[in-house]
């Protein structure tokens, strides 16, 4: 039996790529990690930006198209997506839900199994504190994954996406039988 990396939902071959997605309507962060026997390794990260002046359906298409470019560049085995945080503004939650839905559809159309994590789970995985602020998450992700801390190169949306991918990676384990 070949080595596999196991999560509650997926069995992955070693060296699988995990795509983390931090949904947003103006900016969606993405991050890619490689899961190895020595842990998660940074592969790439960035953001997909939409044009605020464009009609909403065009912005959803921009998000989908940008995510497709990432999927085509990095052949990921699975994706991890952050669940929405529901504040007091119902309209904002609905709009974010529509953007998240477009992103989930894009991932499904490209055959990626998707696991969702709450913001609290992601922060706990990255920082050890479910109430951490974005800057703490960015700092810890840079330290854990040994990436530059320049926020121009890695905006917080991208480091959030890396934290989401790391959260999923931490839930996987490597089955070393047969080595």
pLDDT digits (tens, 9 = 90+) for 80-91: 999 987 666 788
- Tell me what pLDDT residue 116 has: 95
pLDDT per position as a tens digit, 27-74:
999 999 998 888 889 999 999 999 999 999 999 999 999 999 999 999
Closest by Cα among 46, 49, 51, 50 to 70:
46
- Tell me what pLDDT residue 89 has: 77
pLDDT band at 178 (very low <50, low <70, confident <90, very high): very low
**How many domains is the chain partitioned into structurally?**
1
Considering 15, 22, 88, 135, which one is annotated as catalytic?
22
Considering 54, 82, 88, 160, which one is annotated as catalytic?
82
pLDDT at 175 over 60: no
For 19-28, b/e burial (b = at least 16 CB within 10 A) is bbbbbbbebb
Residue span of the structural domain in which 133 resides: 4-175
What CATH number has the domain bearing residue 51? Answer: 3.30.420.10
Please indicate whether residue 135 is annotated as part of the active site.
Answer: no
- Tell me what pLDDT residue 170 has: 87
Q: Where do the H-state alpha helices sit in 8-155? A: 56-73, 90-109, 119-127, 134-145
pLDDT band at 151 (very low <50, low <70, confident <90, very high): low
pLDDT per position as a tens digit, 100-125:
999 999 999 999 999 999 999 999 99
Considering 57, 121, 157, 160, which one is annotated as catalytic?
157
Please indicate whether residue 150 is annotated as part of the active site.
Answer: no
Global pTM reads 0.88
Q: Is the distance from CB of 127 to CB of 140 less than 8 angstroms?
A: yes
- Tell me what pLDDT residue 39 has: 82
Please indicate whether residue 82 is annotated as part of the active site.
Answer: yes
How far apart, in whole angstroms, are the C-alpha atoms of residue 114 and residue 129? 24
């Amino acid at each position: 039996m070949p080595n596999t990396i196991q999560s509650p939902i997926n069995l992955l071959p070693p060296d699988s790529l995990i795509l983390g997605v931090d949904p947003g309507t103006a900016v969606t962060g993405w991050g890619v990690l490689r899961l190895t026997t020595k842990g998660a390794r940074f592969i790439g990260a960035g953001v997909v930006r939409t044009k605020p002046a464009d009609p909403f359906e065009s912005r959803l298409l921009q998000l989908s198209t940008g995510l497709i470019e990432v999927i085509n560049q990095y052949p990921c085995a699975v994706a991890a997506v952050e669940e929405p945080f529901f504040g007091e503004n119902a309209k904002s939650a609905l709009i974010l839900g529509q953007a998240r839905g477009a992103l989930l559809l894009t991932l499904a159309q490209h055959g990626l199994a998707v696991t969702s994590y709450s913001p609290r789970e992601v922060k706990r995985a990255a920082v050890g504190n479910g109430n951490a602020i974005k800057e703490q998450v960015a700092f810890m992700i840079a330290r854990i994954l040994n990436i530059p801390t320049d926020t121009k190169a890695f905006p917080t949306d991208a480091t959030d996406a890396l934290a989401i991918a790391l959260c999923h990676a931490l839930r996987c384990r490597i089955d070393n039988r047969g080595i």
